Amino acid sequence: MTSHSLPEGMVRAAGTAGTHEGYMPGFGNDFETEALPGALPQGQNSPQKCAYGLYAEQLSGTAFTAPRGQNERTWCYRIRPSVKHAGRFARIAVPYWKTAPHVTTAKDSAAANDIVSLGQYRWDPIPHSEEPMTWITGMRTMTTAGDVNIQVGMATHVYLVNESMVDEYFYSADSELLVVPQEGRLRFCTELGVIDLEPKEIAILPRGLVYRVEVLEGPCRGFVCENYGQKFDLPNRGPIGANCLANPRDFKSPVAAFEDREAKSRVVIKWCGEFHETWIGHSPLDVVAWHGNYCAYKYDLRTYSPVGAILFDHPDPSIFTVLTAPSGQEGTANIDFVLFRERWMVAENTFRPPWYHKNIMSELMGNIYGIYDAKPQGFVPGGISLHNMMLPHGPDRNAFEGASNEPMEPVFQDKTMSFMFETRFPQHLTEFAAREAPMQDDYIDCWTSLEKKFDGTPGEK
């Protein structure tokens, strides 16, 4: 990976060299980091006067009284308190970034009523645009689910970004964002430090954290799961034990980095599905030191260690869960983020691809690279499929015939990385997804040629 120098004027904490440069390993750790020596108070959070004339401020990601194992907050020591990073708010239009519940207006309800979310859908990659698009203007919502006002559900977006934000910052009060790049490289300059992100990695940007997004190598395209509910967490492993799947040490949070920059700046805030702007005279990325466990992080999907069938049959795809966002009902996620990556297929006397099924959960998939085994054709890198709540789906005819007749030898499933955002809520198509995005009209034909093999006699067909 090519390293890019930091933005001009940014000061970053010294970190471990090599692959850890700029990051601290661990999931949900109680981190501490300072970009200037002695900026972080020791032994207390809120001294009468902070070093360097900094202001102490807490960012609470959970209710104060959340149980200890879920309680998340971070103490920031910053040049100005956050109240100086906002003035009066004015509502602005960000027409392609939608939020659940997506309420149509009288003006467009007739058109919107034609959209049928009940169906199996697939899209080609959303094409890049010549038009300049930032992290905010380049977000294209495909589906929404649940209700942001009661903090349940999610939205799925595709981002098309070819322009850096300059003197512009963003935060979402509605959600944490799970970012899955597919093309290009982005830099997230956040209040808590800098995350550089490329395909085969993911990042989590927590609710309320201010950041600016820069293009390191464009154009950039990727997927975003916007989580309105409880934060993503590592799944329990049950009988698998203490290792494999996603291991905590492979998650990386940035070390402190700040800029002391006076410039007219715009801050955009997403709040209850609406976008608002406010203008300030400086960069809000002014946290010199911080400690706590509420922070941004990234994860390299190549470090995910899949576990699967080693004799016959195969487990449910939940075996490939990287992160899960709970819903309050045990075992029923608001969102599961599931990864289908390279792995050995060794099961004997087994139909090895995913089986045919109907699911109370709704499944949105994206292809990061390569070929997905249940859909060898048509589901291409950058593409998306949606199998909504209780809609049957499964392998297409070619995949079925191939897998039903292949020799039962160990096969290495190479060059493949797809993912699923699976939610307990039905997903509703946006007008963009239904009308503007390159939907494949013939997707459901992939099952048309599946034959009836039954003729009343036993034996192989």
DSSP 317-385: GGGGEEEEEEEEETTEEEEEEEEEEEEEE--SS---SPPPB--SSEEEEEEEEE-BTTBTTT--TT-EE
142 within 8 A of 221, measured Cβ to Cβ: no
Cβ partners under 8 Å of residue 213, min gap 6: 134, 135, 161, 164, 165, 170, 186, 187, 188, 189
Kindly state the number of chain residues that form the binding site for Fe ion, as judged by CB under 5 A. Answer: 1
Name the residue nearer to Fe ion (CB basis): 56 or 309. Answer: 309
Distance of closest approach, residue 125 Cβ to Fe ion, in angstroms: 21
106 within 8 A of 85, measured Cβ to Cβ: no
Most distant CA atoms of the chain, gap in Å: 86
Name the residue nearer to Fe ion (CB basis): 85 or 352. Answer: 352
Name the residue nearer to Fe ion (CB basis): 74 or 385. Answer: 385
Distance of closest approach, residue 443 Cβ to Fe ion, in angstroms: 14
**Helix, strand or coil, per DSSP, at residue 385:** strand
Side chain identity at residue 296, one-letter code = A
Per-residue contact flags (x/-) with Fe ion for residues 351 to 370, judged by CB under 5 A: ------------x-------
Distance of closest approach, residue 90 Cβ to Fe ion, in angstroms: 43
22 φ, ψ to 5°? 85, 0
Residue positions counted in the chain? 461
Q: Of residues 267-296, which lie at the interface with Fe ion (CB under 5 A)? A: none
Distance of closest approach, residue 357 Cβ to Fe ion, in angstroms: 6
User: Would residue 314 show up in a list of annotated catalytic residues for this protein?
Assistant: yes
CA distance 446 to 6: 48
450 within 8 A of 185, measured Cβ to Cβ: no
Name the residue nearer to Fe ion (CB basis): 183 or 336. Answer: 336
Name the residue nearer to Fe ion (CB basis): 191 or 363. Answer: 363
CA distance 73 to 64: 9
| Catalytic-role residue among 4, 128, 314, 428 | 314
Residue nearest Fe ion by beta-carbon distance: 363
Distance of closest approach, residue 143 Cβ to Fe ion, in angstroms: 15
Distance of closest approach, residue 354 Cβ to Fe ion, in angstroms: 6
311 within 8 A of 347, measured Cβ to Cβ: yes
Name the residue nearer to Fe ion (CB basis): 284 or 383. Answer: 383
Lookup: tokens for 171: 């935060």
Residue ranges in contact with Fe ion by CB under 5 A: 363
Q: Give me the active site residues, please.
A: 314
